[in-house]
């Protein structure tokens, strides 16, 4: 995608916020942040938005203008700075990817089972696209972040319906679609393939999770394991721990006894490359990164290998994330966390 080669997520601003707080929305990301991202040589931002910012459950179908104002400002700042924008519905009516972070919670999502909620989802996207189809910056509309279904079937039906509704409004708007298993590369398998030159498919990579999210308090498996592996290297002791804790195998059993290195990451990316070659659709990596408490040399080595592979295959990317969120390029005060990590993102 032209204008979407190298970018960064604005996570924690209009999505995954601690509380619905206009002071936070006014101050977490400002024009200065957008100018800084552009000065780093990046060409776009991925803007995650949780639906309550733009539509209240108490007034379904009525746009929240005070919420849309924040998106409007971001687009204005990006236009002035020369950045493109991916607008990502991070949490939708009846759906949050966070319901899959602890086993069994995904059943709380009813977007894929309730026709009324699906109607609301489609209508929300019609409102968004009417508002931004002719924005002053190159735009991509990402339908939903990190679908947590075991297979793509129910999501495929909703994707097809939503794409058709958007096409009735904006025939050439660029639409981005990701698959199951939280946008994993494996989620591209069985994802609906629509004959539309303006569709882009997306995946996320935090593999292996037991390295990138080691000791992350919000992910049960790595948290309970407690290991602190280095990269390149092995997940020492993970096999024995998983044998005693088989409920966590969905996150890590395939990585036991595998050396984590560039070859390992090439195998992770390979299905996305194959998907693009087979379908003719571009693919984009919308999230990746290593938690900021991980050994710095290991963190940089993983990032360098992974970004090298994306660049080798001409896959655009959006790092997770710009500010704080345990993966940020800068901390809550705007200070760069690791200049060497940032330099790798910039391609230096």
Q: Cα dist. 187→280, 303, 331 in Å? A: 17, 22, 32
Report the C-alpha gap between 43 and 4 in whole angstroms.
Answer: 6
Instruction: Answer for the pair 7, 43: CB distance below 8 angstroms, yes or no.
Output: yes
282 labelled catalytic: no
Q: How many residues does the chain have?
A: 348
Catalytic residue among 287, 335, 340, 348: 287
Catalytic residue among 55, 142, 146, 282: 146
287 labelled catalytic: yes
Report the C-alpha gap between 329 and 331 in whole angstroms.
Answer: 7
Question: Can you spell out the DSSP letters for 231-298?
Answer: SSB--TTHHHHHHH-GGGHHHHGGGTT--BSHHHHHHHHHHHHHHHHHH---EEEEEE---TTS-HHH
Report the C-alpha gap between 250 and 242 in whole angstroms.
Answer: 10
Report the C-alpha gap between 91 and 14 in whole angstroms.
Answer: 10
Dihedral pair phi/psi, residue 270, rounded to 5°: -55, -40
Close Cβ partners of 342 (under 8 Å, ≥ 6 residues apart):
40, 329, 336
Q: Which two tokens stand for residue 273?
A: 């490359």
Report the C-alpha gap between 61 and 116 in whole angstroms.
Answer: 12
Report the C-alpha gap between 93 and 293 in whole angstroms.
Answer: 33
Task: Please identify every residue annotated as catalytic.
Answer: 146, 287
């Amino acid at each position: 995608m032209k204008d979407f080669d190298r970018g960064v997520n604005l996570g924690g601003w209009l999505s995954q916020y601690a509380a619905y707080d206009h002071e936070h929305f006014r101050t977490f990301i400002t024009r200065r942040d957008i100018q800084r991202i552009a000065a780093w040589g990046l060409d776009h931002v991925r803007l995650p938005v949780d639906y309550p910012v733009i539509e209240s459950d108490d007034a379904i179908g009525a746009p929240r203008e005070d919420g849309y104002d924040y998106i409007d400002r971001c687009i204005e700042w990006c236009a002035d700075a020369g950045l493109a924008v991916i607008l990502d519905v991070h949490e939708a009516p009846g759906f949050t990817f966070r319901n899959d972070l602890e086993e069994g919670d995904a059943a709380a999502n009813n977007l894929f089972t309730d026709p009324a909620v699906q109607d609301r989802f489609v209508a929300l996207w019609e409102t968004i696209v009417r508002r931004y189809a002719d924005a002053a910056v190159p735009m991509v509309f990402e339908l939903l972040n990190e679908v947590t279904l075991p297979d793509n079937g129910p999501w495929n039906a909703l994707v097809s319906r939503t794409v058709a509704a958007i096409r009735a409004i904006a025939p050439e708007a660029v639409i981005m679609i990701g698959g199951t298993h939280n946008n994993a590369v494996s989620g591209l398998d069985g994802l609906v393939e629509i004959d539309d030159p303006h569709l882009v498919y997306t995946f996320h990579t935090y593999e292996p999770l037991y390295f990138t999210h080691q000791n992350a308090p919000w992910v049960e498996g790595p948290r309970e394991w407690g290991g602190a592996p280095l990269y390149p290297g092995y997940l020492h002791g993970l096999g024995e721990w998983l044998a005693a804790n088989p409920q966590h195998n969905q996150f890590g059993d395939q990585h036991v006894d595998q050396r984590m290195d560039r070859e390992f990451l090439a195998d992770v990316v390979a299905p996305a490359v194959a998907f693009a070659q087979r379908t003719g659709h571009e693919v984009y990596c919308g999230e990746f990164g290593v938690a900021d408490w991980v050994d710095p040399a290991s963190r940089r080595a993983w990032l360098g290998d992974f970004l090298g592979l994306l660049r080798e295959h001409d896959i655009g990317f959006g790092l997770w994330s710009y500010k704080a969120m345990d993966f940020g390029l800068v901390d809550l005060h705007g200070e760069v966390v690791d200049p060497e990590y940032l330099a790798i993102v910039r391609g230096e």
